[in-house]
Structure 1
Amino acid sequence: MNIIGFCQSIEKAAHERRGSILARLLSLRDDHIYNRNLTINSNVENVIDDNISNPLNEVVISHLRCLKSLNDKKIMDAYNHQSACTTSVTKLLQLQKEENWSLPLMYTVCLDLRLVAQQAEKCMSQNPGSILEKAAECLMGCFRVCAADNRASDVDTKRLGMLNLVNQLFKVYFSINKLHLCKPLIRAIESSAFKDHFSISQQITYRYFVGRKAMFDSDYKSADEYLTFAFENCHRRSIKNKRLILIYLVPVKMLLGFMPSRKVLQKYDLLQFWELVEAVKQGNLKQIDTVMDKHQSFFIRAGIYLIVEKIKILAYRNLFRKVYLIENTHQIPVSSLQAALKFTGQGDVGLDETQCIVANLIYDGKIKGYISFQHRKVVVSKQNPFPSLSSLC
């Protein structure tokens, strides 16, 4: 296909309002990127201006300039051209009143912008995250246009494109560790009348990220709700995606008192958690430290090291429950709990530190009782002194 044929195909797709075809023709992941006949120059730009109406002509020119820069290994230039391409798509959306046929084009151009920005970030030696942050500002331009479309019918509204953009922005904000910027996006989706009209794949991605954010905010009930939805609705053949969801869902479930089975963890190649589950059930604090050291790189790469560390409090609860059963009394000497801690590898723990651990467990509701500092004893309730963890949800 030469440049004239390329322009004619684009103009025809736009005239017939076939957004998916237009998106493919302007994608950085389509086969046309290998077509040498589409090399951009001043003559080619004139041909585009003559054959394609404004502002779509600006989209095409920026697209071909981006292709040239990518072929020349000039990643920063490619990012700048793709950013200009996205800005032109924003103008196109603004001009289209009460119609949304070009949403597939917006999805494609915005995705390509994020991917090119990620490549550009690798070339940056200073100010890490700055390119992606600028890309997010560009994506927000499209988001505002979609969010402000209140005149269209339910079928033709651009608001149906909001969730795709929110998911793109989530991926950017999570990668540059600016999760606070997700809050207004979450509010916009949760208050949207089209909340249940988005595609299931987009809903899964959205709930995956919102679940992760809730986990980092220590809102484990919400994290469980969102991540469980994502896992249960993810296609059963998408093993990689299901595993990714479980990396965050498993520690959340554990913190809520639900221990995963070995069978599930083995199926998704997550047996690192099974060693942790066994140690927690046994109240074996030394084994937990061993597991944390052994799989430290895995937990850090997944961004859950600090979350997994919180699971240690469950091991304290289970250990103290064993002491309670052995002592067979509702007045447990703090010294007995201290001895249990030392026995499981906490060799330098003192009475005061032991009392602090107990106080935290009582505050969290994992132990029903109080500490008698005068008698150095933990007085637990005669009825259900160690509530099941799942009952605390």
Structure 2
Amino acid sequence: MVTINLDAYFIHKRYDDGLLQFLKNDNYEEAHTYRLTMKNDGKLDQLYNVTMDLKFASWVNDDKQKIFDLADEQLRLFNRIAEVETDWIVYPLYYVAHQYLQIARKIRVKDDKMDKNAYLERCGRAIHRSFNLCLNDRNPELHEDRKTGCYLLANLEFKLYHLLGNRDMMKNLVKVLQSRGDEIPPLAQSLAALHSKHLVMFNYYMGEYYGCYESDFTKGHSFLSEALLECATNICDKQIDKILILLIPFALLTTRQYPNVNVWQEKLTDNFVALKVHEPIVSCLLNGDLKTYDTNFAKNEIFFLQNGLYVAMSLLRELVFLRLVKNCWKFTGMPSVLQLQAVATAYSKSAQGYKKRKPAKADDLLLDELECQLANLIAKNLVKGYLSHANRCLVLSKKLPFPSQST
């Protein structure tokens, strides 16, 4: 029998696994005795009673609603206690909030009598209170400031809003983090830096937000690259896969970097969705195959919508067309004046799947369409030159017709 003196944590302002073990909801039957004699306006007594009730209810496991209500009360009491504590309380606070979210997720699936999102929304209000307790700390001693835990609680909110599909709340949270950026410690100097999974999670959610919701692929690429670099050996393959699903198209759009699929296949397992979905896309970007690209896009359209990649993948078709134009330019001897009829022939063959039958001469409608697409490439500085509508040709720069970034 192990006796744990809970008074010591609040007297010495520190925590260890003993306190976390006490706060845990599923270890009632383990051989631990918890002792609490310290007076704290009744808040600690209430926390003790609620936590022990939660342990017992979780052990018996016969009333999901009661378990949820006790977890809600436990976090609310811990929020009240944390108001007068320093930074030492932050990780135990996160621990309780994370446990509450796990309980809310389980009951959300199993309870059909209540709105499935109602439990998560109620959980979100309590967790947001925890986040504000850290964000609004005014402790003059910076090394004791609870702001160091903002990213831990923000990760829980990101996860919760992701489950709810609430883009507006996610946007509000990002705005708060941005507006208070001068007050909050940098991510690398926060409590999250002591737990690599939190660094990965925060960078992933920020990358997803900017790339999938705001179509800011540069910022999305930056955050997701950090997330991938932070992935250590203890991070599961599933997390790496989730990062690569977003990172590969964002990298293609922003830096024109083509991942070496063969190298990735050697390092990763065959179960990686990112490789299965993006490998044919990468091949199309290298050879300008519009037909194969369109086929794969249609095949995975629902997947792209579910993962917020529809806009990014639509924009990648423009780069496939760019590759087609560049290949056509090389095939015709790299002239400074590229006839649109030659581009139209290559375009028709690519869009039809490179059939053996020679396509008919392009009509004015197709040439006008190609002029519009080429004008977009020129406007985005992917092609240097100008169009001559009267002569139906593309006049290219003699120095660098296709900037290095677009190769």
Mark yes or no: TM-score above 0.5. yes
1:230 aligns with: 227
- Which of 174, 179, 185 in structure 2 is aligned with 1:194? 185
1:42 aligns with: none
* Matched ranges for 1:38-117 at <5 A: 53=40, 54-70=42-58, 71-96=60-85, 99-117=86-104
- Which of 318, 326, 338 in structure 2 is aligned with 1:313? 318
* Matched ranges for 1:129-148 at <5 A: 129-148=117-136
2:356 aligns with: none
Shift of 1:219: 1.9
AA matched with 1:338: A
- Which of 359, 380, 384 in structure 2 is aligned with 1:368? 384
Match of 1:371, SS state, is: strand
Range 361-370 or range 106-115, more displaced: 361-370
1:247 aligns with: 245
Whether 2:139 is the aligned partner of 1:151: answer yes
- Which of 169, 183, 191 in structure 1 is aligned with 2:174? 183
- Deviation sequence 1:264-321 (CA, Å, 0-9, x none): 4312334322222111100101111233345556545544344233222110100011
* Matched ranges for 1:262-273 at <5 A: 262-266=261-265, 267-268=267-268, 269=272, 270-272=274-276, 273=278
| Cα separation, 1, equivalents of 2:366 and 2:56 | 67
1:274 aligns with: 279
Could you say if the C-alpha distance between residues 390 and 280 of structure 1 is closer, same or farther in structure 2, counting changes exceeding 3 Å? closer
- Deviation sequence 1:17-57 (CA, Å, 0-9, x none): 442322221123x5x2445999xxxxxxxx99988742123
- Deviation sequence 1:72-115 (CA, Å, 0-9, x none): 4543443332222111111001133xx23222220111101211
Shift of 1:191: 2.4
- Contact 1:369-1:378 within 8 A present in 2 as well: yes
Range 153-162 or range 371-380, more displaced: 371-380
Shift of 1:140: 1.5
| Cα separation, 2, equivalents of 1:114 and 1:157 | 25
Could you say if the C-alpha distance between residues 242 and 390 of structure 1 is closer, same or farther in structure 2, counting changes exceeding 3 Å? farther
Unaligned runs of at least 5 residues, structure 2: 354-361
Could you say if the C-alpha distance between residues 59 and 197 of structure 1 is closer, same or farther in structure 2, counting changes exceeding 3 Å? same
| Cα separation, 2, equivalents of 1:354 and 1:133 | 50
Could you say if the C-alpha distance between residues 361 and 123 of structure 1 is closer, same or farther in structure 2, counting changes exceeding 3 Å? farther
- Contact 2:215-2:311 within 8 A present in 1 as well: no
Match of 2:394, SS state, is: strand
RMSD: 3.2
Shift of 1:173: 2.0
Match of 1:162, SS state, is: helix
- Deviation sequence 1:231-277 (CA, Å, 0-9, x none): 22321453523333222221111112001112443123343222221
Q: TM-score, normalised by structure 2?
A: 0.80
- Contact 2:28-2:56 within 8 A present in 1 as well: no
| Cα separation, 2, equivalents of 1:203 and 1:362 | 39
Tell me the percent identity.
21
Range 291-300 or range 315-324, more displaced: 291-300
1:204 aligns with: 200
AA matched with 1:262: V
2:357 aligns with: none
Q: TM-score, normalised by structure 1?
A: 0.83
2:339 aligns with: 333
- Contact 1:282-1:318 within 8 A present in 2 as well: yes
* Matched ranges for 1:167-178 at <5 A: 167-177=155-165, 178=167
| Cα separation, 2, equivalents of 1:343 and 1:227 | 37
- Contact 1:48-1:61 within 8 A present in 2 as well: no
Match of 2:6, SS state, is: helix
